[in-house]
Amino acid sequence: MIYTLTLNPSIDYVVKTNEIIMGATNRSSNEEYYFGGKGINVSCVLSELGFNSTALGFIAGFTGDAIDKGISNEHIRTDFIRLKNGISRINIKIKAMEETEINCQGPQVDADELDALFKKLDQIEDKDTLIIAGSVPKSVPEDIYEKIMEKLQTRDIRIVVDASKKLLLNSLKFNPFLIKPNKQELSEIFEVDINTKDDAVKYAKLLQQSGARNVLISLGGDGAMLIDENENLYEAGIVDQPVINTVGSGDSMVAGFIAGYEKTNSFEYALKLGSACGNATALLPGLATKEKINEILNLF
């Protein structure tokens, strides 16, 4: 079984308008909404690929109900912890002449609710995969990822970490199966400018030396690369089509990679399928669909 963990899920409310005038009433030209959170995105794309997953995390209030109901389908089992207070956050994405985002904080997570999460981790068995993705709410300890990995370290579980700077770095001592920094995150971690693929390889190898088994790097318009645990380097390109949306592309890449590896045990194919999923999301208003993924796979 594949498990995804999203500590702070959201409803992403996308508002499109020609312009924003501050201090005035503005009218939208279109609205869309998506159920968000990095782990949830991974589960949704896994579902498109026909892979079952269980979505873990915290939800609250009427927005939490909508998230739970909205992503539940034959391939996604939800096993969220329902918080006593607050509502799951609504993030506002304004698309005008420039894009503006307001990401909200989310509900308060109490100590007993955090304990409930750790109890749910007991259902994860040897040979399962756990994908830990995204930021940590302010009410949750900053070392939550480390504590989760420490609890599971005696089991034969593939753990994937897709998080930023400190969260990612502090996880490396537990030897995660896969990490997926993008070029910007890699630059921030080492406080350098990543200008070439050779630069990306150099710093990815440093992350391996610190404990990561496999390092998948998304390079935006330059594609993606993987340095696997056998020190092999694989590269993947992009599809030359107009980009519509980059939100969720990295999560889609993680989903495709894990699905590809589960299916074939091949790192090369895992990167190919991961890249196809990331590209598919970039070319659609929402997340990758099975049809778009297959279309792109035929182009690679």
Measured in whole angstroms, the distance separating CA 151 from the mean position of its chain's CA atoms is 22
| Residue 251 is a catalytic residue | yes
Of 68, 162, 228, 251, catalytic: 251
DSSP the chain: -EEEEESS-EEEEEEE-S---TTS----SEEEEEEE-HHHHHHHHHHHTT--EEEEEEE-HHHHHHHHHHH-BTTEEE-PEEPSSS--EEEEEEESSSEEEE--------HHHHHHHHHHGGG--TT-EEEEES---TTS-TTHHHHHHHHHTTS--EEEEE--HHHHHTTGGG--SEE--BHHHHHHHHTS---SHHHHHHHHHHHHHTT-SEEEEE-GGG-EEEE-TTS-EEEE----S-----TTHHHHHHHHHHHHHHHH--HHHHHHHHHHHHHHHHTSSSS--HHHHHHHHTT-
Q: Please give the positions annotated as active site.
A: 251
